Amino acid sequence: MITTRKPDGTHRVVITGTGAVSPAGIGVGVLWEKLLAKECCISELTRFGKGIFEVKVAAQVPPHDVTELGLSKKDARRFALFVQYAIIASDEAIRQAGIDFGSIDPTRFGCAFGSGIGGMEEFESGCKTLAESGPTRVNPLFIPTMITNMAAGNLSIRYGLRGECTDVVTACATGTHNIGSAYRSIRHGYLDLALAGGSEEPFTPVCLAGFTRIGALTKAVDPLNASLPFDARRGGFVAGEGAGAVVLESLEHALARQARIIAEVVGFGSTADAYHMTAPSPDGEGLTRSMRHALDEGGFTVDDIGHVNAHGTGTPINDRTEAAALLGLGAAVQERVPVVSIKGAIGHTMAAAGALEAIVTALSVAGDLVPPTTGFAVADPECPVRVLIDSLEAYPQKVALSNSLGFGGHNATLAISPYRS
């Protein structure tokens, strides 16, 4: 008989659907294939401002026709880009989960979907219109187009999700926090299902200017040597865009509708550094606690970790801090636990990053296969962790961790295991 509850009586929570829009392309399949092939999806920045910005490379979603991906022409005009990405990714996740909305209680189906900065294109366009033409010419839908909760709001409208609908915003930890929030709501019985994830559209002049001025972005000109997680040559992250979406549900609910289960979310950790607006605490203590909380909640120990999907942005301080946090789990982590960052292939997709990385982590534990870290070549003594440079195949795991960090000192960790009845 399958046990659908945790030892404390709360619900087990499983992943039954995944969806992605990323610099690798549209869909989870193409993302997974390019990660395994160590294909770099970073290219020359082409959206605007050639010769003006110090930033020369970006991780951009390839050109696509949204009307071929389930959106109408009206949707394309009305929805900000981050909402469009969220819808495309969520449509894939809902399809994969095999949701029959006619047989599901919509008041028990929630949505937790966030964006770190929201509709930046609409924001810049509105400011320009105000300055050039006056307040009466500003788009009447300016506010509901750009605000960050509109991914969650429009997703709930699209699918008729009438349960809890939230937008957790924690900068680059947003995707992970939204999945963690949805996991907790299902675990404690407030929901049966949830659509969760994150979406971002950072490619506007003021956004890239801001990230550049704060010193976060790489000034590399060669796309193949720009995003270098944990590498001694790293000099900043490559800005990326996209969205990641997952369908979570209680194991009891998934079994009742005979859903295909991909993996199980077994724990969630969330902590604060209380240290600095942009820099993580150098000792990594907050992230160490986050990882321990996620492991403890799942009933696992450090010795059970199969691999860590790191935040691994490729900025000097972030990678040092994350390495310190991993070593804070115990000296054995340094040699034994494989560490991978998918940002070497697709850049840093900010609010979408944690969701895309959770999807990759789920596929890794489900398929006994961990992808390598694209771009890593020169080990840094200040980051003494076992960075994967080749795929790990036929590699069964008990549990894997997916980490995210955000400006403001936000730390979040998901513990994900292969589903076992």
DSSP for residue 259? P
DSSP letters spanning 398-413: SEEEEEEEETTTEEEE
CB 151 within 8 A of CB 143: no
Instruction: Count CB-CB contacts under 10 A for residue 112.
Output: 28
Buried b (16+ CB within 10 A) or exposed e, 30-67: bbbebbbebebbbbebeeeeeeeeebbbbbbbeeeebe
Q: Which residue has the tokens 């979408």?
A: 352
What is the C-alpha to C-alpha distance for residues 321 and 283, in angstroms, rounded to an integer?
Answer: 6
What is the C-alpha to C-alpha distance for residues 321 and 129, in angstroms, rounded to an integer?
Answer: 42
Residues in a beta bridge with 241: none
Active site members: 172, 311, 348
What is the C-alpha to C-alpha distance for residues 21 and 61, in angstroms, rounded to an integer?
Answer: 7
Q: Which amino acid is at 196?
A: A
Rounded to a whole number of angstroms, the distance between the first and last alpha carbons of the chain is 8
Integer angstrom CA distances of residue 6 from 15, 195, 270: 16, 22, 20
Strands 305-309 and 338-340: parallel
DSSP for residue 297? H
Q: Which residue has the tokens 């890593």?
A: 376
Cα–Cα nearest to 24, from 365, 356, 331: 356
CB 119 within 8 A of CB 83: yes
> By CB neighbour count within 10 A (0-12 exposed, 13-18 middle, 19+ buried), where does 274 fall?
exposed
Those residues with Cβ within 8 angstroms of residue 351's Cβ, 6 or more apart along the chain or in another chain? 82, 114, 115, 116, 117, 169, 171, 172, 174, 175, 198, 199, 200
